[in-house]
Amino acid sequence: MTGDADPLAAVVARGRAETAADALREEGIYDDDRSIRPFGEDAVALPVTAPPEQTAVREIVRQEAEPRLRNLDDHLRERGWTEAERERAPGSWAVIGTVVLVDVGDAPRTGEVGEALLDLHANADTVLARHGIDGTQREPDVEVIAGAGDTETIHTEHGTKYALDLAEVMFSPGNKAERKRMGDVVRGDERNEGPERVFDMFAGVGYFTLPMARAGARVTAAEINPASFRYLLENAKLNEVHERVDLYRADCRDVAEGVEADRVVMGYYEAHEYLDAALDALEPGGVVHMHEATPESLVYDRPVERLTEAAAERGRAVEILDRRKVKGYSEGVAHVVVDARVE
């Protein structure tokens, strides 16, 4: 420990850095003007303005004050990058557990970009360049550009834990708010009506299944990708919801034949192709959440029309409850969700 004027830091296990930093921010004591620093072999020191009263940490230490390199541009400038080169550097990325996921675009010297990102995020140990998602099973195309190369991690959002291998399965950082929202809208058994019955047609590693099951819903989840399904099984146990989920490694259209659901989640950009199965599984008065990649000029008309027409073919009426953009999908295309009650 150094002199009393030196700033404070809270030491936590490297794997807890993301969750602990969020908790310290909620306490109002996280210091955004300083950087996270490595602490020993398996821990990091999170900058704080005062000892935490609610967040569990290993210890509180003092550090020598140092000016923070606040962003990627600062780190690349320190490495001698010119202004023209820095303009080609990535403008956004995501930290998923201990992995940084980044679209490098046409940035020069991508290895240096990766090393700079590791310096910027001391809780991370691997940087992956993301090149896209391939095929109907949504398999990621990624490349290790810096760090240990360990692509398997555990990512925590709003208390939900997602174990996954980012070299094998897809995880979209931009869907964070939507994942939380689905945990908020479902009904548990608090009104003695029994838990809400949910059918998650494209479960992945449990993006929506886990927060909904944690909220008390009974979830039937289908996932056809074997790698994603393996993590779906693991995550159900990791989040202690395995008794509230029925998991199937199968095409969701086959699973739908035996499902009676109060709510159907269609978390796939081409979900309209599966509306027949979704409506067959959805009980009268139930709610469907239909995702779609929609050209900006057709937001929200196209997904609403597709849903309304599919329901009308079955003599069912649709009440639109909500429509929202989740994020950009590609240039001129938005990822949107339509929530609707189907009588």
Phi, psi torsion values for 113, nearest 5 degrees? -60, -45
Residue 179, annotated as binding a ligand: yes
Q: Are 69 and 75 in contact (CB under 8 A)?
A: yes
CB neighbours of residue 58 within 10 Å:
15
- H helix or E strand, kind and range, residue 224: none
Burial (0-12, 13-18, 19+ Cβ within 10 Å), 13: middle
Q: Which residues contact 327 (CB under 8 A, 6 or more apart)?
A: 172, 174, 175, 334, 335
CB 336 within 8 A of CB 326: yes
CB atoms within 10 A of CB 49: 15
Percentages helix, strand, coil for the chain, rounded to the nearest 5? 30, 35, 35
Among 155, 177, 174, CA closest to 166: 155
CA distance 179 to 158: 9
Q: Annotated binding residue at 77?
A: no
The response to whether 223 counts as a known ligand-binding position is yes
- Which secondary structure element, helix H or strand E, spans residue 291, and what is its range? strand 282-295
Sign of the alpha-carbon dihedral angle for 308, 314, 316, 321: negative
- Binding-site residues for S-adenosyl-L-methionine sit at 172, 179, 223
Residue ranges for the known binding site are: 172, 179, 223
